[in-house]
Amino acid sequence: MPSPAPRADVPADGGDRLAAYVELVELAQRQLDAVEAGRHDALPPLRERWATIVAQLPSVPPEAARPALRRAATLCDALGRRLLAERGDLDRRRGVLDTGQRTARAYGGEAAPDAVALDRTA
């Protein structure tokens, strides 16, 4: 799945007042990039930073923050879709493993033999 377009619609004006909103966009993009690269280990610190920023925002954002919030929402939606797709893939793989284990038990009573006899004389 390709990443959404860069944040060209986020206004650069507004100074420090909008910096937190712009950082949310950057964090959302970094999260999406990490998931697309298979680097799920990078998500916890990004989520922590996200929570820290959100906790400091006013309850009503300034009008000038609207484009950044829209962009962050778009990226978060893309991230959610990507994670759901990965979850579905993992669920399918688990299903294949479960089927294999049930088949092995049906034939031999166990999913895998406890010990394998090897001819060590060869």
Q: pTM here? A: 0.63
pLDDT (0 to 100) of residue 5? 46
pLDDT (0 to 100) of residue 7? 43
Task: List pLDDT tens digits, range 59-94.
Answer: 999 999 999 999 999 999 999 999 888 866 666 656
**Is 57 or 7 the better-scoring residue by pLDDT?**
57
**Is 54 or 17 the better-scoring residue by pLDDT?**
54
Residue partners of 75: CB distance under 8 A and separation at least 6? 4, 25, 28, 29, 31, 32
CB 3 within 8 A of CB 32: yes
Mean pLDDT of the region 26-49: 95
- Provide the Cα torsion 81, 84, 88, 89; round to 10°: 70
Cα 37 from Cα 111, distance rounded (Å): 33
Mean pLDDT of the chain, nearest integer: 78
CB 83 within 8 A of CB 35: yes
pLDDT (0 to 100) of residue 1? 46
